[in-house]
Amino acid sequence: MYRLEVRYSGVPAVKGISFTVGRGETVGLIGPNGAGKSSTLQALMGAVRCTGDVRLGGADITGLPPETVIRRGLALVPEGRHIFGDLSVRNNLRLGLVGRRDRAGSAEDLEAVLELFPVLREFADRAAGLLSGGQQQQLAIGRALLARPDVLMLDEPSLGLSPTAVDTVFEALEAVRAQGTAVLVVEQRAEFTIAFADRTYVLHDGEITLELTPEAADDEALLTKAYFGS
């Protein structure tokens, strides 16, 4: 992604940022509210208009509609999860198959998701709206994985979850990374994200101001500077 820009009614929200996410890498985006993190993910998905050069596997996907972007290999777990509460867990998962480039291997991928998140197998016939927040987040991630993405993006996956549920979600993301899927995660939990990701970019006012490695997770002064600029 190079020189990505997003504007709302002419007001810049993302100001020409550039970064890459390689196969099997996890990249974090952190920063205060309004920094442009979610706008970046929405632009990559084609959900908001943008300019710049967005490439996936060398192919230009800038400005393509979301359904096309998904089929090209990019999936987003949005903030708030956006599951269908009246549908069963099983049927929510099946919706992830709609975005696949190839239906071959669907059954095997479904089994892999159920292995990754055993609670989804346990509650497969339960209405998704009856799940806990952490279980719903696992469902949202599992549904996205069934599209077999090359890059999995997550917007605030820990929001509203208990510490135990957060650990479960990020252990699963570690397994996803180990399988070669690239992960791009937007998070408010700065220290946690920096420690987890291969590298983390700090956004302020729509611009990247710092690039941090896991070694910076324990540097309190640097984290303060990253968020507050002092």
pLDDT digits (tens, 9 = 90+) for 130-166: 999 999 999 999 999 999 999 999 999 999 999 999 9
Residue 229: pLDDT over 80: no
Cβ atoms within 10 A of the Cβ of 159, count? 15
pLDDT of residue 195: 94
| Tens digits of residue pLDDT in 88-146 | 999 999 999 988 888 888 999 999 999 999 999 999 999 999 999 999 999 999 999 99
Distance CA 62, CA 44 (A): 7
Domains and CATH numbers, the chain: 2-228 (3.40.50.300)
- By CB neighbour count within 10 A (0-12 exposed, 13-18 middle, 19+ buried), where does 42 fall? buried
The whole-model pTM stands at 0.94
